[in-house]
Amino acid sequence: MISLRVCAVCHKKAPKEEFLRVVRVGDEYVVDLTYKVNGRGAYICREGGCVESAKKKNALKRSFKAFVPDEAYEELAKYGKPKD
C-alpha cells in the first residue's frame, strides 16, 4: 500500500515523491530529499507554486507549530519548481 502525504499548502494528497519534505532538526529546518531524516516533517508540492505560497502564507509555521525562518523557505525555493 502506498501511503499518501498531504501538502501543507494546498492539502493535495499524493505519494511522498511528489513533495519536498522539510524536517525540523533541532532548531533548524532542512529539506530532506531522502525522506528518511528523523523528526517532525512537513510536505510541500514540488510543482504548482506551493513553495512560493508556503512562504506567503507561512504554511510551515502551522505544520511545525513554531516560528519558521525565511531561510527555510529559501532553501525550499532551490528545489521547488515555480509556476510558469
Grid coordinates standing for 84?
A: 510558469
Measured distance CA(40)–CA(25) in Å, rounded: 8
Per-residue mark of binding to Zn ion, 19-58 (x: CB under 5 A): --------------------------x----x--------
Say whether residue 8 binds Zn ion (CB under 5 A): no
CB closer to Zn ion, 27 vs 63: 63
**Separation CA 84–CA 29 (nearest Å):** 27
Cα–Cα distances (Å) from 81 to 29, 33, 46, 49, 66, in that order, read 19, 15, 6, 7, 25
Least spacing, CB of residue 14 vs Zn ion, in Å: 9
Based on the shown chain and the rule CB under 5 A, indicate whether residue 9 belongs to the binding site for Zn ion: yes
Are the beta carbons of 21 and 43 closer than 8 angstroms? yes
Q: Is 10 in the site for Zn ion (CB under 5 A)?
A: yes
**38 or 78: whose CB is closer to Zn ion?**
78
Q: Write out the residues near Zn ion by the rule CB under 5 A.
A: 7, 9-10, 12, 45, 50
